[in-house]
Each structure stands twice: as structure tokens, then as C-alpha cells.
């Protein structure tokens, strides 16, 4: 993979190329942005470019020994540091400091890529700070992170921060068609759902993921007709799915977003993310008040964020489904003949501890 082959991020790649051409490459970078938009790929490609034996026009050749070693993960001067368990530990940064005492073995630069640097323990971050304060020559350090605010300000101030943008829908759909042979119509839907992330789009190539999305959207589309016991059973089954939960909540968010867009814009289906569910979006959107949709969206984000901690997943999911059911029947009244519920205050998220 060369700079020319990276999808999107043209502004950042042009900036790196200019810095290379002017021989003004900073010694340390932070690449920030969401998952699946090319941060790690760009970092590795930059490592290849600075060490390529035939490097010309600010790109790598992808054929020389150095490029091939880098691509296979065997270049002695390209080190990638990832978390060991839940964190990047101080021992890993100490080992890096040891390596930095010596000159690069084969290449022009030793490149260290610290992936997801927000996972650094505070001691590790402080140890890295010392390295960044006095970087040895012929070294390039690249940190990747979701958000700049997840890193120590003292680290941020010593690096050039390059914020990566989500990819354009067209860039993703073109890639799905060309690299994976997806039909253009299906690729357009998948690209919308990917929300700018190529890795999310790639996950959608898995039919199971699409089936799951269909199941989830059909469940929430018909939630006003669901019986409470069915919803409790769904929350129980949902909880058992583990790693897919985060993605499921992402689907739920796209659904809520579509309902809101439908209400606010009286949208044509072009504005919808779930294009294949357009009819159901139109049917369901009138069941909710706009502020309830915003409230549900916020809650889905809260639960998604809280998944990282030890929350009671089943209780959280039950509350989410029951609230959605309650809000769906607020406007039109209960299908069993009860009158519409009276206006309620904002929902307060229950604090749940343990499992
Ligand atoms: Zn090369």
C-alpha cells in the first residue's frame, strides 16, 4: 500500500508529502479520528515512505526490500506498540527508550507507531513524554488516538496533530464495488450505514451482521405493538450477544436519526441512512415526538459509552427497549386502548452497578 492507494485523507497525505519534499518532517505526530478511516495505514505507509529505497515524489515503491519488509511486519526499524492487556504499559515505553539509544539498523528512520495511544497508563504516558521532550535524531514517533482530549496535554503539545476525517460515502461505496464486487445499490446502503468508516463497511460484508441489523430494525419498527414480556425477552437475548452490542446500538442510532430526519425534513428517502427501510421509517416516525427521539438517541449513546464499564447490560437494555416502547405509544395511545400517557419529564438514566 502506498500513499496513492490510501482511500480518502487527501489533505493529510498532501501535507505529509509537502513536509517530506521540504525535508521538514516533524519528529512526532498524533493521528486522531474515528476507527476505520486510515490512521494506522497512513502511519505505516509514512514509515515505508521514509525508508523506501526507491522513494520518489513523496511515496513508496512497494517493491524494494525495505517496503516488502515493512508490509510483512519484519522491518527492524519499524516498531508498532499496541496495548498489552487493557493498557499500554510503562515497560513497553521503557523498551522503546532502550531501542532509541541506538541508530536505525537498516533504514534512514526508525519509526515507532503507538496505536490507540489513549490506552497508555499514566506512568507510560509520562515516560513517553520524556522521549518526546528530547527525541533522538533519525526517529519518527506516530501516535494514533480517537480523540486528542484522551491524551495528556503535555504529550499533545509536543506532537503535530493531524485530524483524520470520516470517509465520504462515495469513497466507501466505490471501494465496496471495486474491491469486494458488491452491487452498486447494496454498496450505497452499506456505505451510508458505515458512517464514514471503512472497517465498519467491511464488517457489513458479513451477511450475519446484515441479518442482525434487519432483525433489530424490524423489532424497533414494530415496538409499539410489542408486548412487554417480549421486550424483556428480547433484552435478555440481546444481552447474551456480547461484542455485537456496540454495533447494534449503532444501528439503533441510525434508526432514531432517520425517524427524526423524516419528521423534521418531511424527507425524501435520499436523506435516510436506512434506505432499505424507508417505508418503515415513514410509518414509525409519526409515533414519536422529536424531543423523545433526541432523548432516545442520547440514551443510546450513553449506553454505548457505558458498555466499556461494568454496567448491568440486561437492565440497561431493558430500560432502553421499554422507554422506546413507552415513547412509541405516548403519541398515539396504547394499542390495548389505554389513553395516551401524560407528558413526562426527561428520562433519568438509572445508575447500575455490577451485573
Ligand atoms: Zn520501496
Collapsing DSSP states into helix, strand and coil, what is residue 192?
A: helix
pLDDT at 346 over 60: no
- Per-residue pLDDT at 275: 81
Rounded distance from Cα 25 to ligand 1 centre (Å): 19
Domain topology for 3-163 = Rossmann fold (3.40.50)
- Measure 76 CA to ligand 1 centroid, in angstroms: 15
The single residue listed with the C-alpha cell 400517557 is 341
Q: Which three cell numbers stand for residue 305?
A: 459509552
Please report the pLDDT score of residue 243 as a whole number: 57
Ligand 1 centroid – CA 38 distance (Å) = 20
Q: Ligand 1 center to residue 193 CA distance, Å? A: 36
| Average pLDDT of span 124-141 | 92
Question: How high is the pLDDT of residue 350?
Answer: 40
Looking at the predicted structure, is the pLDDT value of residue 267 above 70?
Answer: no
- Higher pLDDT: 48 or 328? It is 48
Which residues are 144's β-sheet partners? Answer: 31
Residues 331-352: what's their mean pLDDT? 43
Helix (H) or strand (E) holding 50: helix 39-51
- Whole-number Å distance between alpha carbons of 262 and 271: 8
- Report pLDDT digits (tens) over 216-229: 899 888 888 888 88
pLDDT higher than 70, residue 332? no
Tens of pLDDT, residue by residue over 184-238, are: 988 988 898 888 999 888 888 888 878 888 888 998 888 888 888 888 888 887 7
315-324, pLDDT tens digit by residue?
Answer: 888 888 888 8
Which chain residues have CB less than 5 Å from ligand 1, an ion? 52, 60-61, 64, 67
Write down the pLDDT at residue 207.
Answer: 80
Å from CA of 9 to ligand 1 middle: 21
CA of 50 to the centre of ligand 1 (A): 9
Topology adopted by domain 207-355 = Zinc Finger, Delta Prime; domain 3 (1.20.272)
**Ligand 1 centroid vs 46 CA: distance in angstroms?**
11
Enter the C-alpha cell of residue 139: 526517529
Distance CA 187, CA 197 (A): 13
pLDDT value at position 241? 61
- Residue 288, pLDDT > 50, answer yes
Ligand 1 center to 70 CA (angstroms): 9
**pLDDT mean over 171-176:** 94
The pLDDT of residue 204 is: 83
Q: For residue 145, give the DSSP letter.
A: E
Per-residue pLDDT, 353: 35
Round to whole Å and give the CA distance between 259 and 245: 21
User: 3-class DSSP state for residue 120?
Assistant: strand
Distance separating alpha carbons of residues 282 and 125, to the nearest angstrom:
50
Q: Got the DSSP string for 58-118?
A: TB--S-SHHHHHHHTT--TTEEEE--BTTBB-HHHHHHHHHHHTS--SSSS-EEEEETTGG
Q: 3-state class of 35 per DSSP?
A: coil
Kindly give the distance from the C-alpha atom of residue 61 to the centroid of ligand 1, in angstroms, as a whole number: 4
* Mean predicted confidence (pLDDT) in 307-333: 77
State the distance from the centre of ligand 1 to the C-alpha of 68, rounded, in angstroms: 7
In order of 29, 66, 281, 324, 340, the CA distances from 139 in angstroms are: 12, 16, 53, 53, 66
Per-residue pLDDT, 111:
97
Spacing, Cα 78 to ligand 1 middle (Å): 14
Q: Any idea of the CA torsion for 269, 270, 272, 275, to the nearest 10 degrees?
A: 70
Q: What's the 59 CA to ligand 1 centre distance in angstroms?
A: 8
Q: At residue 32, what are phi and psi to the nearest 5 degrees? A: -115, 155
pLDDT for residue 266 = 58
Nearest to 141 by CA among 43, 54, 21: 43
Cα of 255 from ligand 1 centre, angstroms: 46
Nearest to 40, CA basis, from 103, 126, 111, 122:
111
Predicted pLDDT at 348: 43
Kindly state the average pLDDT of the residues 134-160.
93
Amino acid at each position: 500500500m502506498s500513499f496513492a492507494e490510501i482511500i480518502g485523507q487527501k489533505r493529510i497525505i498532501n501535507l505529509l508529502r509537502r513536509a517530506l519534499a521540504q525535508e521538514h518532517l516533524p519528529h512526532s505526530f498524533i493521528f486522531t479520528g474515528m476507527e476505520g478511516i486510515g490512521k494506522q495505514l497512513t502511519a505505516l505507509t509514512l514509515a515505508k515512505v521514509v525508508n523506501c529505497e526507491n522513494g520518489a515524489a513523496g511515496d513508496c515503491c512497494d517493491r524494494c526490500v525495505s517496503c516488502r519488509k515493512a508490509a510483512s511486519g519484519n522491518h527492524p526499524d519499524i516498531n508498532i506498540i499496541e496495548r498489552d492487556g487493557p493498557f499500554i504499559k510503562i515497560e513497553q515505553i521503557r523498551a522503546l527508550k532502550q531501542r532509541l539509544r541506538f541508530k536505525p539498523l537498516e533504514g534512514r528512520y526508525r519509526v515507532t507507531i503507538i496505536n490507540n495511544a489513549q490506552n497508555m497508563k499514566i506512568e507510560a504516558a509520562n515516560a513517553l513524554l520524556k522521549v518526546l521532550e528530547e527525541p533522538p535524531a533519525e526517529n519518527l514517533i506516530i501516535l494514533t488516538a480517537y480523540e486528542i482530549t484522551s491524551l495528556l496535554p503535555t504529550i499533545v503539545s509536543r506532537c503535530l496533530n493531524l485530524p483524520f476525517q470520516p470517509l465520504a460515502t462515495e469513497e466507501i461505496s466505490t471501494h465496496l464495488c471495486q474491491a469486494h464486487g458488491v452491487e452498486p445499490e447494496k454498496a450505497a446502503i452499506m456505505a451510508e450505514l458505515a458512517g464514514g468508516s471503512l472497517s465498519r463497511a467491511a464488517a457489513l460484508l458479513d451477511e450475519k451482521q446484515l441479518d442482525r441489523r434487519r432483525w433489530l430494525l424490524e423489532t424497533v419498527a414494530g415496538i409499539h405493538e410489542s408486548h412487554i414480556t417480549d421486550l424483556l425477552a428480547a433484552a435478555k437475548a440481546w444481552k447474551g450477544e456480547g461484542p455485537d452490542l456496540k454495533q447494534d446500538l449503532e444501528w439503533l442510532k441510525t434508526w432514531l436519526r432517520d425517524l427524526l430526519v423524516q419528521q423534521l425534513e418531511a424527507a425524501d428517502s435520499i436523506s435516510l441512512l436506512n434506505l432499505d427501510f424507508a417505508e418503515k421509517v415513514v410509518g414509525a416516525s409519526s409515533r414519536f415526538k422529536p424531543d423523545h427521539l433526541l432523548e432516545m438517541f442520547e440514551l443510546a449513546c450513553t449506553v454505548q459509552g457505558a458498555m466499556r464499564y461494568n454496567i448491568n447490560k440486561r437492565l440497561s437494555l431493558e430500560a432502553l427497549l421499554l422507554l422506546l416502547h413507552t415513547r412509541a405509544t405516548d403519541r398515539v395511545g396504547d394499542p390495548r386502548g389505554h389513553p395516551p400517557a401524560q407528558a413526562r419529564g426527561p428520562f433519568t438514566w438509572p445508575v447500575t452497578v455490577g451485573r
